[in-house]
Chains A and B, each alone.
Chain A
Amino acid sequence: MNLPILSLITFTPLVGALAVAALPSRYPHLIRRTALAFSLLAWVMSLVLLAAYAFGPTGFQFVEAHNWIPTFGIRYKVGIDGLSILMVVLTTTLSWISILASFGPIKDRVKGYMISFLVLEVGMIGVFLALDLFLFYIYWEIVLVPMYLIIGIWGGSNRIYATMKFVLYTLVGSLLMLVAILATAFAYQVGHGGSWVGAFDFQLLQQFAASGQFGDAFQNLAFLALFLAFAIKVPMFPFHTWLPDAHTEAPTAGSVILAGVLLKLGAYGLIRFAVPLYPHAAHTFAGPIIVLSVIAIVYGAIVSIVQPDLKRLIAYSSVSHMGFVTLGIFVFSATALQGAILQMISHGLITGGLFLLVGVIYERTHDRTIAKMGGLAATMPVWATVFGFFILASAGLPGLSGFVGEFLVFVGSFGISPLIAVATIIVMVLAATYLLWMFQRVAFGTMSDFLKGLGGHLTDMTGTEAVTLLPLGFLIVVLGLFPSLVLDLLRAPAQAFLAAAGVAVGG
């Protein structure tokens, strides 16, 4: 097949953005629908891609490569393996859901909002597809700007502080990553007699790394730079404090994408680039990173317990959940890695759903303070039921996707060192504590005076809101019962990852 389907998927939202830009802003409905149409188109195409993807073999498929800046061997090179295709589908899915979920809440500057969102989608898809380090970096930064605007323009009262913190924090990491990327390419260039050809090509670089040609000291520095960039994005303890602020201030759909996809960019970077390119350094730092991950898991959960704000609580819970991802990556076990990736997906679905549900409440009450809620199970039974479902999924109830991912990480880590699992398992109780306590205060009990004051505004979920949540819930159940759908795709990437990391694949 010669159709450049990856590029088509990447740039469909861009075309959408241009189309939206061309529409006059006095037709907000038309703008919304156009944006939705293009994001749906990208989604359908990503599903077609999934159908066309050949499951078995290792390596990248649908590779497209064109020279871009031949002087430095920078190329437009994209391709997918089992990992990236999953991330792309996750992105396209959450994108149209987010856009649809924004129909009601976003009434001001709809055009700019939709353009931002579509550009954001381009960047996110691009990150997952790029096989050229420079291209990857560019997409990585492209993601930053629309998110900055989305939080800063359509966010809450403290949005400017939050968005600046988000951008600056991310930039510190990513600019150091740029240095590391350039240094890596240069090391490759030196190793190839001064020729820049292929110096940014991920596959060639990885072969170069596999032959042990990056020096240990160099690896350590470059790895740390990449790690910092990715750890901030994930976010790992102690680089996480931008997340609660960003989540709290972002509009609902912004939070959904932030939690659903943006955090995954960091984890993806670790799996795809940081470890395979610098395996020696990855092993050197694995111990401290595992410790940080364990801290993040427990710490995030503990802090979640005392959060007064719904979104802030979910944000801290993300720190905890994403800790499983980094843990799963750095124990270097095929099982744990598959669990980590599954966790990435299910965290995207579950936390995305939770943010949508908080958005539903926020639309009606314009408040997210847990203490002001109460008794919503009686007033908004459908909402409360769905909320309960996502909360249980987040708490890792077996049969839903969150459980499988976390359990695989647990099992994989246990095989490496039972201590890790023992130190981490307490999160089972902590997660249930903060989630159920929050649910109890929001949904159970009698109606608070604050809610009574709202009277008839407190209607149950609308059809549109239900439509945004339905696919997420469906996928959570399906992946919980049939995780093989994902795991089959991940077998090859997991082996490739471990091979690149220099670990023998067991089982």
Chain B
Amino acid sequence: MSNSLDSYLVLSGLLFAIGTFGFLARRNAISMLMSIELMINAVNLTVLAFGAFVAPLRVHAAVIALLVIAVAAAEATVGLAIVIAIFRNKKTPLVDEYDSMRD
């Protein structure tokens, strides 16, 4: 069981689920951003697991993982900027208090 593709995929799936749970459960915008990072890293783990166990995918895996990390970084940058902007307006990082628009 250990050290097989499936076990890595299960692990990465769990990581993704944890990230999702974090995103759903946390109220702080920064924490939610971190949860998303966790989800993206779960994807990276998946990618790398595929690369490690499926020979033809090896080269690609590293490239993909690198690009995904880059995108995640960019996303985090934009995200933080927005979080700062809204923190200035609302004086709170708790997203469930951002509900002036609804229905």
**Complex A–B touching at CB under 8 A:** no
| B-to-A contact residues, CB < 8 Å | none
Residues of A near any B CB (own CB < 8 A): none
